[in-house]
Amino acid sequence: MQLVIADSFFDSFVTLDKVSQKTINNSIKKLAKEPKTSGLSIHNLDRANCDKSFRSARVNRDLRLIFSHKDSAIIVLHVGHHDDAYDWAEGRFLKVTPY
C-alpha cells in the first residue's frame, strides 16, 4: 500500500494542537499498516457531494481524517473536527497531477 500525504492535509494538520497531532500521526500509521482493520471506523462519504473515492476515518470522538483510497494508494487529504472535516470534503474532487 502506497501512502501519499497531500498539501491540503498539512494545511489542516498544523492548525491543531500537539496532542491532536500526535493522535493523528498514530492513526495514519494504523491506516497505512492495516487499512481495512485499523479500528478507525472507516466509511464512505455518501452524504457529501464529493469524489467517490473519499473516505472518513475516526481519529477520536471529535477528529476525522479525510482520505482517498484508490487501487493500492491511500491519499491523506484533510483532518479536522467532525463537521468541519465533512464540510471540507463537500464539493471536492480529486485531481492528481504528476511531478
Q: Write the pLDDT tens digit of every residue in 19-66.
A: 999 999 999 999 988 877 778 999 998 777 999 999 999 999 999 999
pLDDT at 87 over 80: yes
C-alpha cell at 32: 497505512
Q: Each residue of 72-84: pLDDT tens digit?
A: 889 999 999 999 9
Global pTM value: 0.90
The answer for residues whose C-beta is within 8 angstroms of residue 55's C-beta and 6 or more apart is 42, 43, 44, 45, 66, 67, 68, 69
pLDDT at site 95: 79
Distances (CA, A) of 99 to 9, 13, 76, 79, 96: 18, 23, 18, 24, 10
